[in-house]
Amino acid sequence: MSLIKKINFTRIGYHVLFWVVLSVFYDSVSSYLSNNSFFDTLLHDLLFFFPTDILGVYFTLYFLIPRFLLKKKYISFTIYFFIFFIFLMIAVTMPLQYYGMYLSRLGTDKLIPSFFEYLKRSILIALTVKLMIIGIATTIKFAKIWYKSQKRQQNLLNEKLEIKLQLKEAELKYLKSQINPHFLFNSLNNLYSLTLEKSSKAPEVVLKISSLLDYVLYECNVPKIELSKEIDNIKDYIDLQKIRYDDKVNISIKTEGEPSEIHIAPLLILPIIENAFKHGLDKNVGYGFVKININVSDDSKFNLTVTNSLNGENNHTGDGIGLSNLRKRLELQYPQKFRLDTQINDSQFITELCINLY
């Protein structure tokens, strides 16, 4: 039973189909040219012609090609092929065909030539037909090898893409996990400061932190989210900062376009806003500012410009951890579709993010 299961009946069927089509075509032409019946021609060829064809084809396909040609031993393949082919023609094919001709003419008035006369007269035709059949079979064999090679390369490419996708997803999760604790740490520090002061604003801060955490932990576990939700999250964060600074600083946010119709990867804006508050207000209470401009164009281009004040101790243009992680996330999620620039202009730190969302 196990032996039967190992037999590839489909493959056997294709081989049988090849020989059936070949024999029907060849014998149809032969019977037409010789004015003999198709079935007599078919029977004659099945007995005296096709056995040597089968021997030549399968010896070439399963011995000579794998052992020499596929291993790029072209000279050895050529030598062995012609040795085998000459042996097949002189020692097997022509004697067998001569014997078939001899039997067909025995008892008739047709002249029976000698073997050497028959050989001289028929070998060129037999040689051409034999080479043609082996050539057709070899072409099919190499087409099959090429197809398997292409399929194998495609499978390897798909595996590589799958691995890259998994690595990309793992890296994104890692980068997002770095954002969340950073944000939580800052928010809890704000709450801690208010509790030390026994501020009446502490309960409101707890509610704001709860809302922000709900967004970060539950709503952001998707590849893309509505831009309007991302902006609402930023507004909650800004409200939290306003409570912290007690309206002693200038904080503004302006939105243009239709953010509800746009989807974006979550938590891309928050690191820029956090960076602005960290470097723009911590040491500038009383005169510092943060200005946020969000623009969504009709052609699905997202533009964010954040301008914050600086003092002499914060004159740096390099990316911090937050912006560095953001840049890596953008390279993974929007490759060659984004621009993230930072610059200092008149004691102002300006961060600009542009994304072609589609």
Confidence tier at 340 by pLDDT (50, 70, 90)? very high
Q: Exposure of 122 by Cβ count < 10 A (0-12 exposed, 13-18 middle, 19+ buried)?
A: middle
| Interval 11-47: pLDDT, tens | 888 888 888 888 888 778 777 766 777 777 777 777 7
User: Which tokens hold the place of 25?
Assistant: 């075509």
CB 185 within 8 A of CB 192: no
Sequence ranges of the domains in the chain: 2-159, 199-356
Confidence tier at 294 by pLDDT (50, 70, 90)? very high
Of 151, 90, 80, residue with least CA distance to 115:
90
Confidence tier at 293 by pLDDT (50, 70, 90)? very high
Looking at the domain 199-356, which fold is it?
Answer: Heat Shock Protein 90 (3.30.565)
| Interval 196-232: pLDDT, tens | 777 777 788 788 778 877 887 777 778 888 999 999 9
Of 108, 96, 105, residue with least CA distance to 46:
96
Percent of the chain residues past pLDDT 70, beyond the cut: 84
End-to-end alpha carbon distance in the chain: 57
Q: Exposure of 281 by Cβ count < 10 A (0-12 exposed, 13-18 middle, 19+ buried)?
A: buried
Q: In Å, how far are 8, 19, 185, 343 from 194, measured between CA atoms?
A: 77, 90, 15, 33
